[in-house]
């Protein structure tokens, strides 16, 4: 059978395909991503999880006339392959090759340059307002992952866009890595209702009545408990986004093209803020990445058959490894030392610390601003917080370092990883500016 991918260069090439052909295309795109990233390195697991979603979006919406914004962009490899860059995909993240992230200078299909998380909703809201000011007619779609929803900026964008009531589609790509903290408060609220005095008595009476049924009483009690949990799981996400002004649709199965296409076609007809909740599996289609999605989130070259890294093992430890061992040693000697990271436990060398001293380890998620002021709060009570963040992401907490840490002369240690040029990930990830902008702040000791 001829390869369908060979005939696909741009989104218009997929819009005439039958469903069966689209499913075959999804597998071919997935194979190309695995084959390429095994040689170049890159963000494998995120991009494998969004193949069907990418095809469905480009199948339904009129890109590039309709504007598609990817959050972070590390899940956009399939997007690159079907938007004119298939024959250049082997140059991914290489000198003179295509970027590992969407880049406006690279393609008309890349609407907004990205690399850091949680910017897509605000960017999409701005493009939506520009469309209205110019009296133009096109759809605006932002795809954001559940991990990016832990950042305050994402909810600032949702709050604004929902209030404006303009035609905007937000697709929440939930790969079950970070969504629980986002709905925790709402879950707690519903739990409070279900544990209130009257509801508790009613539940107790019903449970007692069910248990008296011979043979099936205990089973009925168990089913009732499951129904309660299902109700919470069904209601919570919708309530959260509906209250912010969005029509909530989902959750949808993110690897069923027929399901995605039908629902997105319905969404396309709506003229208001819509949030589409899609459930995907990170690393889909490559078992090593499915089993260890964090390991394959960002990876170097690897052996496809085994999933093992092909990088030569350096006999010398990295700076990150040295830091990780040193902070553990110091923390053993000083119980006031605590460690904070922003969704980068492995990347900043804190895995051993997190295992040995979990009560003194804090992963705040993709929330560098919160992490900075959280550290300041700990410091006011006599602790010595060590904030471990990639240099490029520390930029996001500049005001917290200045206002909450340095002006109060609090003993917070900033341990910035990935300083200097970082190479393959490009300008959005270089750690070039930390020394310049931090040195200008009063009371900081570089």
Question: What positions carry a catalytic annotation?
Answer: 282, 368, 396
CB 269 within 8 A of CB 60: no
Torsion angle defined by CA atoms of residues 94, 417, 284 and 102, in that order, rounded to the nearest 10 degrees: -50
Token pair for 227: 């129904």
Asked if the bond preceding 412 is cis, omega within 30° of 0, the reply is no
CB < 8 Å & 24+ apart, contacts of 22-31? 22/55, 22/59, 22/257, 23/257, 25/55, 26/51, 26/52, 26/55, 26/257, 27/285, 28/3, 28/4, 29/5, 29/55, 29/78, 29/81, 29/82, 30/78, 30/284, 30/285, 30/286
CB neighbour class for 217 (10 Å; exposed up to 12, middle 13-18, buried from 19): middle
Strand partners, 168: 273
d(CA 107, CA 277): 27
d(CA 8, CA 14): 7
Token pair for 324: 């990780």
């Amino acid at each position: 059978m001829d390869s369908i991918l060979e005939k696909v260069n741009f989104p218009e090439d997929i819009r005439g395909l039958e469903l069966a052909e689209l499913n075959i295309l999804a597998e071919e795109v997935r194979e190309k991503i695995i084959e390429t990233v095994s040689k170049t390195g890159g963000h494998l697991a995120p991009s494998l999880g969004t193949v069907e979603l990418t095809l469905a979006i480009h199948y339904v919406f009129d890109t590039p006339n309709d504007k598609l914004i990817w959050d972070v962009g590390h899940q956009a490899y399939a997007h690159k392959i079907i938007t004119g860059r298939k024959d250049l995909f082997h140059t991914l993240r290489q000198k003179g090759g295509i970027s590992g992230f969407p880049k406006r200078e690279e393609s008309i299909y890349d609407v907004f340059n990205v690399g850091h998380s949680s910017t897509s909703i605000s960017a999409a809201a701005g493009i939506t307002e520009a469309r209205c000011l110019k009296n133009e007619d096109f759809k605006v779609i932002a795809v954001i992952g559940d991990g990016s929803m832990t950042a305050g900026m994402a909810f600032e964008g949702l709050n604004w866009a929902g209030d404006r009531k303009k035609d905007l589609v937000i697709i929440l790509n939930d790969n079950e890595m970070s969504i629980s903290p986002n709905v925790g408060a709402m879950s707690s609220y519903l739990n409070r209702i279900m544990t209130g005095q009257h509801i508790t008595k009613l539940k107790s009476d019903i449970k007692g009545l069910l248990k008296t049924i011979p043979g099936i009483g205990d089973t009925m009690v168990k089913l009732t408990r499951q129904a309660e949990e299902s109700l919470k799981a069904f209601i919570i996400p919708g309530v959260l986004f509906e209250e912010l002004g969005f029509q909530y649709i989902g959750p949808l199965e993110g690897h069923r093209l027929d399901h995605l296409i039908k629902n997105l076609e319905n969404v396309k007809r709506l003229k208001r803020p819509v949030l589409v909740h899609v459930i995907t599996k990170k690393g889909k289609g490559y078992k090593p990445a499915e089993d260890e999605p964090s390991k394959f989130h960002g990876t170097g070259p690897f052996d496809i058959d085994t999933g093992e890294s092909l990088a030569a093992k350096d006999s010398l430890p990295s700076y990150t490894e040295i830091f990780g061992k040193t902070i553990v040693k110091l923390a053993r000697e000083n119980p006031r030392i605590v460690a904070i990271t922003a969704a980068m436990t492995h990347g900043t060398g804190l895995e051993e610390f997190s295992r040995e001293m979990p009560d003194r380890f804090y992963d705040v998620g993709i929330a560098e601003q919160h992490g900075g002021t959280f550290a300041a709060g700990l410091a006011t009570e006599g602790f010595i917080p060590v904030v471990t963040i990639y240099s490029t992401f520390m930029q996001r907490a500049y005001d917290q370092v200045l206002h909450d840490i340095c002006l109060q002369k609090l003993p917070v240690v900033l341990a910035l990883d990935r300083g200097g040029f970082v190479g393959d990930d490009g300008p959005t990830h270089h750690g070039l500016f930390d020394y310049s902008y931090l040195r200008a702040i009063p009371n900081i000791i570089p």
